[in-house]
A and B are shown apart, each in its own frame.
Chain A
Amino acid sequence: MTKNILLVGVGGQGTILASKILTLGLQKANYDVKMSEIHGMSQRGGSVTSHIRYSEDKVYSPVIEHGQADVIVAFEKMEALRYLDYLKVDGKVFVNDYEIPGMPVTSGQAEYPQGIIEELKRVADTTVIDANKEAEKIGSSKVMNMILLGTIIGSMNLTNIDWDQILTENVKPQFIELNKKAIKCGIELAK
């Protein structure tokens, strides 16, 4: 069975590194893996997505179909709602309780929508995570992305993969310990 994970967020939030670490782990566990990213243009602040699909058999398409994501992990809450139509009927949403306003809001043309979390909860099995607060507890708001990665690892039962090793190979030495802690924290939060 092919599993589908969708990471969504806003440019600059570290979704790309999180999905890279995830795919490397899945590869190590001998799954066939495909990943597709749409990251827009070089200016910051656009909506970004990473589609990750893996299976013990062959995976063909790198793109998740609507209604097929086992998990959606949103680094920003409005982004969770934007892509909610990708979620499977019994899929799970992990949403970072974090707001990035975007141009229409900062320029005063629109208000940041109220009640997003409530709407997510109404429609889907939703776990709200304050990744920023958790990250600061660990020691740096920069590891928000690794906490959210941890929630995927926890919810998809991927804890038997040697994530410490993958971090060691792909993260700057001074950040390895911090990132390890962040992933563990995410795994706990997903329970």
Chain B
Amino acid sequence: MSKQQLMTGNEAIARGVFEAGVRFAAAYPGTPSTEILENISTYKEVLAQWSPNEKVAFEAAYGASLGGARSFASMKHVGLNVAADPFFTVAYTGGNAGLVVVTADEPGQHSSQNEQDNRNYARHAKVPMFEPADSAQCKAMTKFAFEMSEQHETPVLIRVTTRVCHSKSLVELEDRVEKEIVPYVKNAKKYVCVPANAIIRRGEVEKRLDTLKEYSNNCEWNYIEDNGKDVGVIASGMAINYAKEVFGSDVNYLNIGFSYPLPMKLMDSFLKNLKKVYVIEENDEYIEDAVKMLGYKHICFGKYAPDESRFLPAYGELTSDVIRKAVNGGKGYVASFDRSKVLGRPPALCAGCPHRGFFYELGKRKDVVVSGDIGCYTLGFAAPYNAMDFNCCMGASVSGANGMQKVLNMVEGNEKRVVGVLGDSTFFHSGMTSLLDIVYNKGNCITVILDNRITGMTGHQQNPGTGFTAQGEPTEIVDIEGVVRALGIKHVRTIDPNDLTLMRETLDWAIALKEPSVIITRYPCVLKKMSAHDKNEWPQMYSSKCTVDADKCIGCKLCLRSGCPAISVKDKKAVIDKTMCVGCSVCKQICPKDAIN
């Protein structure tokens, strides 16, 4: 079979996983990596699962590899922070069958809370790494990474970036090659990481690296394109493509696709004959530092020029425009027009989003500090709610709230209560252990779990509370209230957030308590594909529309405080966009004149 297909990098990685004979894949969603597992889950031959978080996903893949199947895990850049603990130690043990991990980084932070260069993890954990530049390489490198993993008894990291993940280019499809399960043989010296064993494996890691260093100088992934010039470009990943648009055949190229360990000898021989070299890489000075270490600082133009002035931007994407601007000031024509005619389109909670009623009520309170988290509900920070004070990473809402409440309680006369706010998927990801901290350490802050019955922000993936696996099989529905009680919280209420009176009373109840409490708001995300279970629990859900009675409406604009994009006020009368409204009734409850039906 030979067939070309246009694929995104994520689809191509999934295809590579399939063709490589992988039997087990685990991930936790996160832009831009999410579609990798979503695509893998369409191949029946691979057992694909959403894990509660990235550490669990990586560890499950590790166990599966020990069990003898080629195994795979993928995550967004910050996900590897969560999975870093096992990642560093599995680097010592290696798996049994091939074990490959994808980290999807976000230069430019299109939809992330930070920008971090996970190539540093490869060096830090001493794990070999590939950086594909297009979809064909995504597939080829994924497949080869399994070979390397088995040959060198190491996990292998593949670092992609948003543009690699979400760009389409041509890929040659091949067949899947089935891999037999490699029998598991007990080997405590290798797999039990007590100090005496691990120190021996530590030595093995260095030996492996020596071999891979040689390999890096001579492999097909790292290669020179000699155009007979005395100016060169060294680039890795998507940056190679951007560089080629700018420099064409006016320079020599060193393409780096296998970037840990770096091909130091190859780089040296490439650099030797150059008068000038541009190092084009997104995020940190990973290759640039190596070029300088080899003694070529005086000809090196990367993030810094030889005189240590800034050359390329420190962060953001290094698209062709950006490179061109640094190299020769940019090229030619760019239309100039009246920018004041362009308004932003900031993201907003969908019409009818079940987070809305909660934030409307919370935003009115002056007696709270809100410790937020990461999900659609992060938008509660913005107008009209302004109902979030800080957030940082998944799960931190609950632990952060606990710490803050403890200190606020030390302040004479403090009346402020700290409310930790997180979603269902985030609770399963890392909120549970934080809640345990509140119970164990006698905290008394308030936790609100916004249970919209799905992982919303990343495009509606199943999670332990939804009743389905990644491959659509029915499974146990984990009961959040049960978990909360089991963790030791005595005061728990589960409510409908679209009932504003109930929402308000429940907040009053929690704030008045001296002990820690949990409020669970339970109502499905508007964009969720509803299960039979959902339809049964909420038979009336999203089946009606609201309309404004123009005779009663006085144009007071209070309903706009709902923040619903379906409602606006024109010529002193509210109007509801029928195509958007889902009849959640939040605006209706806000209206003081009973003008909304």
| Interface residue ranges, A against B (CB under 8 Å) | 10, 23-24, 27, 32-38, 40-47, 59-63, 65-67, 78, 81-82, 84-85, 87-89, 101-110, 112-116, 119-120, 122-124
Residues of A within 8 A of B321 (CB): 65-66
B345 and A23 within 8 A (CB): no
Residues of A within 8 A of B353 (CB): 43
A87 and B335 within 8 A (CB): yes
The 8 closest A-B pairs by CB, nearest first: A62-B167, A113-B341, A60-B241, A106-B568, A60-B244, A36-B167, A35-B168, A89-B333
The distance in angstroms between the C-alpha atoms of A36 and B163, with both chains bound, is 7
Tell me if B457 counts as interface (CB < 8 A to partner A): yes
B335 and A65 within 8 A (CB): no
What are 11 contact pairs spanning A and B, CB under 8 A?
A27-B170, A35-B6, A36-B168, A60-B242, A63-B319, A87-B335, A103-B345, A103-B348, A113-B340, A123-B337, A124-B335
* Nearest Cβ on chain B to A135's Cβ, whole angstroms: 15
The one of B331, B335, B349, B560 that contacts A85, using a Cβ cutoff of 8 Å: B335
Q: Count B interface residues, CB 8 Å.
A: 61
The distance in angstroms between the C-alpha atoms of A78 and B341, with both chains bound, is 8
Which residue of A is nearest B330, CB measured? A66
A33-B6, A42-B376, A60-B245 known; A47 vs B337 contact (CB < 8 Å): no
Interface flags, B523-535, vs A, CB<8A=1, else 0:
0000100000000
A33-B170, A113-B340 known; A43 vs B350 contact (CB < 8 Å): yes
Residues of B within 8 A of A43 (CB): 347-350, 353, 376, 379
Looking at B162, B335, B569, which has the most chain A CB atoms within 10 Å of its CB? B335
| Interface residue ranges, B against A (CB under 8 Å) | 4, 6, 31, 110-111, 134, 162-163, 166-170, 240-242, 244-245, 317, 319-321, 324, 331-338, 340-350, 353, 376, 379, 383-384, 456-460, 527, 557, 560, 563, 565-569
Residues of B within 8 A of A27 (CB): 4, 6, 170
Looking at A36, A46, A89, A101, which has the most chain B CB atoms within 10 Å of its CB? A36
* Nearest Cβ on chain B to A27's Cβ, whole angstroms: 5
* Nearest Cβ on chain A to B555's Cβ, whole angstroms: 11
A61-B244, A103-B565 known; A42 vs B460 contact (CB < 8 Å): yes
A62 and B567 within 8 A (CB): no
B335 and A115 within 8 A (CB): no
The distance in angstroms between the C-alpha atoms of A118 and B460, with both chains bound, is 40
A81 and B456 within 8 A (CB): no
